[in-house]
Amino acid sequence: MSNIQNDIERVLISEKEIEKAVKKIGKQISKDYEGKNLMLVAVLKGSVIFMGDLMRAISVPLNIDFMSVSSYGSGTKTSGVVKIIKDLDHDLSGKDILIVEDILDSGMTLSYLKGILSQRNVASIKIATLLDKPERRVADVHADYFCFTVPDEFVVGYGLDYNQQYRHLPYIGVLKSEIYEK
């Protein structure tokens, strides 16, 4: 097992920067969803830390639920095949859905998810993501709320992983290429 800190090429976004950005979009979401029936839908596992911080930054009533959706497997690039591993536990009828994701990369997963959820009699669907990586976009999907735009580098931390590692890091770091190109 390697030393986690040695696997990081550099810190891209600090813990303090993340905290400030999450509070900022939480305030905007609170304003936009005043008087609405807000339900946050977290896409597991990567969004769990972002979801926890984001929901505490939102001041309007809300409900939460979780989905596990994957298009990656254990690789570093999307497979293009999206599968639902765990579906929602609650009825979405009449709810204003805010999908909470760690990173909007190719857009394949979020495009698929948005399509599936839109068939469930929802009032509205929007996307909040911690990171937006537009250089990799394949599907026509955009975040309604995002904290940071990141370059096309392999990032980990604050919920994002490589091979189920690095999620616990309190910052976003760029993973050294020799780690994932083995």
With bands split at pLDDT 50, 70 and 90, how would you rate the model's confidence at 1?
very low
In sequence order, which residues have a C-beta less than 8 Å from that of residue 118 and are 6 or more positions away?
125
Q: Is residue 170 part of a domain?
A: no
Q: Is residue 6 part of a domain?
A: no
| pLDDT given for residue 82 in this prediction | 77
Q: Is residue 87 part of a domain?
A: yes
Q: Is residue 165 part of a domain?
A: no
- Catalytic-role residue among 53, 105, 140, 152: 105
Q: Is residue 126 part of a domain?
A: yes
In this structure, the chain runs to a length of 182
Q: Is residue 158 part of a domain?
A: no
CA–CA distance from 77 to each of 40, 135, 144, 181 (Å)?
Answer: 26, 13, 24, 12
H-helix or E-strand spanning residue 4: helix 4-7
**Is residue 32 among the annotated active site residues?**
no
Q: Is residue 162 part of a domain?
A: no
CATH code of 44's domain: 3.40.50.2020
pLDDT in tens, 116-167: 999 999 999 999 999 999 998 999 999 999 999 999 999 999 999 999 999 9
Q: Is residue 175 part of a domain?
A: no
pLDDT in tens, 85-128: 888 888 999 999 999 999 999 898 899 899 999 999 999 999 99
pTM assigned to the model: 0.90
Maximum Cα–Cα distance across the chain = 51
Q: Which domain holds residue 40?
A: 16-152
Give me the number of domains the chain comprises.
Answer: 1
